[in-house]
Chains A and B, each alone.
Chain A
């Protein structure tokens, strides 16, 4: 049994020296990553980092607080449109615009949290679904936001640093993602995070201990929307062009899938789930160009699966991987990680 000698062990950001060591190794790897891999992988890493932010934000809401949301593409859109319009129309610097847009998303998250005080489970999911669908419809109708034509992202400059390549943007993105991941870790270890989990596990008991459920449920929505809005603002500069159709219902569902596949109520799971599904999403697009196998898969897809004649084998593989993970490990990747850890700890028994 491990003995606790000092309560700071509970409170520290890194549980032990070993964890700190591996964290520093990871940071070093992330720092050299763009020099080790070609540009496509830097783009993939950017895409992953954004999804990690969303997954962590969504997990704080779904996994930790136990409130479901099918409308997170809405917050993502608010972050993206907010950042661009604040930069082009109000001429604010990028970081200020990004944070303001995320705060805007958080305020809307707070408002969306209000019906959550009365709704649960399937009812809440439909309410949030309505929100997600409405946001893109509204944005698509407003000329100021470019309407159906969409918006182009302006040039990106932070002080005197011109971020004109994927590699430059990578460093900005990784810094933000690492900081916000550590912030989320702190949150779940302190008062606010404990209140979130308490609401999920036994809300009446939480109330009788002095937890204001109204406050913390809406706060969970606001924090979650803040993370997602921030990710949306960054995503606008990965794509360099945004239009309402991007922020679809499917996007909300993929966000939720990342959280569930990764493992509900686990930050590690969110990171793993977001990375896996982002990687599959981009990588499976290339599946048809694999020699021999690609051609065979395309033929298989066209003759058996596709309705329209367009190859859809990517989606089928994507879906079956999701199904198999959930089938073999309901706790998602986090569950697989726990089992592996336990296996090595108790090996050879």
Chain B
């Protein structure tokens, strides 16, 4: 195998975590190649979001490794993991509701902004380092606003935006940190079909134009089969199977555990 010698982009090895005797994740291992869309599917409560939380450092796994660009990241603090270049959106929107879209996205720039307490305190528009830096990062954020068509809500408080737009802002915020690996937790949940189409378009664009590797959790099977390079199926915290969309669709256990009856499969295909 030619993969032996290169450094692995992202890898999860024998990851396990349990909450009070319940094995939320049990011996999960997989590898994500740079530049691909890797989807994780499974029924509700399968442990998908728990897996994301372990990667982010929100949960400390009981055992196993998570390796990102040759560095072990399991058990590290979330902000440390974020600074390495792993971005994230949430299943239940976690926006800063009392800030505008622009300010929300500016938080994505947090790790790049150098002016802290003292230089920020003496900010004096163009005459100060902090002022020039703020403007430079606002220009960068503007690119993302253009990319996601958020111009009309740039200065609106995100708390008052429609649900689909909020999901978009959340994606923008994660993109603003220019991650190398992006974790998307159900980016299309609760969206209408038009919004879904837009979101699928952006996700593909993020992969193609920005070259960001994507780890995706999604329940919409059509979408998952459509855009994923590879798919991991988990149930009850264990791996069911892993492979290309075509392979996964044919796997008998997937049909039983997740897709259900035979006639459902016909709908998907």
Using a CB–CB cutoff of 8 Å, the interface residues on chain A facing chain B are 4, 7-8, 10-13, 183, 186-187, 189-195, 197-198, 200-202, 204-213, 219, 223, 265
B94 near A213 with CB under 8 A, answer no
Q: Is the CB of A201 within 8 A of B78?
A: no
Q: Which of B96, B110, B123, B135 contacts A201 (CB 8 A)?
A: B96
Q: Is B251 an interface residue (CB 8 A)?
A: no
Contacting pair B113 A191 (CB below 8 A): yes
Most chain B Cβ neighbours within 10 Å, of A10, A186, A191: A191
B123 touches A191 (CB 8 A): no
* Nearest-CB residue, chain B, relative to A180: B121
- Which of A204, A205, A208, A223 has the most chain B CB atoms inside 10 A of its CB? A208
A residues less than 8 Å from B122 (CB atoms): 183, 186
Residue from A197, A200, A209 in contact with B177 in the complex, judged by beta carbons closer than 8 Å? A209
Q: Determine if B77 and A207 form an interchain contact, defined as CB atoms under 8 angstroms apart.
A: yes
Residue from A8, A206, A210 whose CB has the most chain B CB atoms within 10 Å: A210
Q: Are A210 and B83 CB-contacts (below 8 A) given A194-B106, A204-B94? A: yes
Bound form: Cα–Cα A206–B57 in Å: 13
Tell me, yes or no, whether B268 is within 8 Å of chain A by CB. no
Bound-complex Cα distance A195 to B57 (A): 19
Question: Given that A191-B116, A197-B98, A206-B107 are contacting pairs, would A7 and B177 also be in contact in the complex, using a CB cutoff of 8 Å?
Answer: no
Chain B interface (Cβ < 8 Å from any Cβ of A): 56-58, 77-79, 81-83, 87-88, 90, 94-99, 102-103, 106-108, 110-111, 113, 115-117, 120-126, 130-131, 134-135, 138-139, 154-155, 173-174, 177
B92 to chain A, nearest CB (A): 10
B90 touches A205 (CB 8 A): yes
Instruction: Decide if B121 touches A187 in the complex (CB within 8 Å).
Output: yes
Which residues does chain A contribute within 8 Å of B99, judged by CB atoms?
A: 194, 197-198, 201
Bound form: Cα–Cα A78–B78 in Å: 35
Residues of the B chain whose Cβ atoms lie less than 8 Å from the Cβ of A190? 113, 115, 120, 123, 130, 134
* Contacting residue for A194 out of B58, B107, B131, CB 8 A: B107
Interface SS majority for chain A: helix
State the Cβ distance, A203 to closest chain B Cβ, in Å. Answer: 9
Pair A223/B82 contact, Cβ less than 8 Å: no
The closest CB in chain B to the CB of A199 belongs to B96
A186 to chain B, nearest CB (A): 4
Residue from the list B96, B125, B174 in contact with A11, Cβ < 8 A: B125
Q: Is the CB of B98 within 8 A of A8?
A: no
Complex CA gap A206/B173 in Å reads: 11
Q: Is the CB of A183 within 8 A of B121?
A: yes
Tell me whether A201 and B125 are in contact (CB under 8 A). no
**What separation, in Å, do the CA atoms of A190 and B123 have in the docked complex?**
9
A-B CB contact pairs (8 Å), 12 listed: A7-B135, A11-B134, A183-B122, A187-B121, A190-B130, A192-B117, A200-B98, A206-B107, A208-B88, A209-B173, A209-B174, A210-B79
Which residue of A has the minimal Cβ distance to B106?
A194
Q: Which of B96, B125, B134 contacts A205 (CB 8 A)?
A: B96
The complex places the Cα of A297 from the Cα of B78 at a distance, in Å, of: 60
The answer to whether A198 touches B79 (Cβ under 8 A) is no
Q: Which listed residue (B77, B120, B124) contacts A192, Cβ 8 A? A: B120
Q: Which residues of B contact A194 (CB under 8 A)?
A: 99, 103, 106-107, 110
Give chain B nearest CB distance to A220 CB in angstroms: 11
Q: Are B56 and A192 in contact (CB under 8 A)?
A: no
* In the complex with contacts A190-B134, A191-B110, A201-B97, A209-B116 CB distance below 8 A: no
Q: Which residues of A contact B58 (CB under 8 A)?
A: 204, 207-208
Contact B124 A13 (CB under 8 A): yes
Q: Could you say which residues of chain A place their CB within 8 Å of the CB of B78?
A: 204, 207-208
Give A202 Cβ to nearest chain B Cβ, in Å: 4
Q: Which 5 residue pairs of A and B lie closest in terms of their CB atoms, listed nearest first?
A: A190-B120, A207-B78, A205-B94, A210-B111, A210-B82
**Interchain nearest-CB distance for B118 vs A (Å):** 10
- Which listed residue, A8, A189, A209, A223, touches B107 by the CB 8 Å rule? A209
Least distance between A306 CB and chain B CB atoms (Å): 43
Distance to closest chain B CB from A6 (angstroms):
8
Given A187-B120, A210-B110, check contact A10 B134 (CB 8 Å): yes
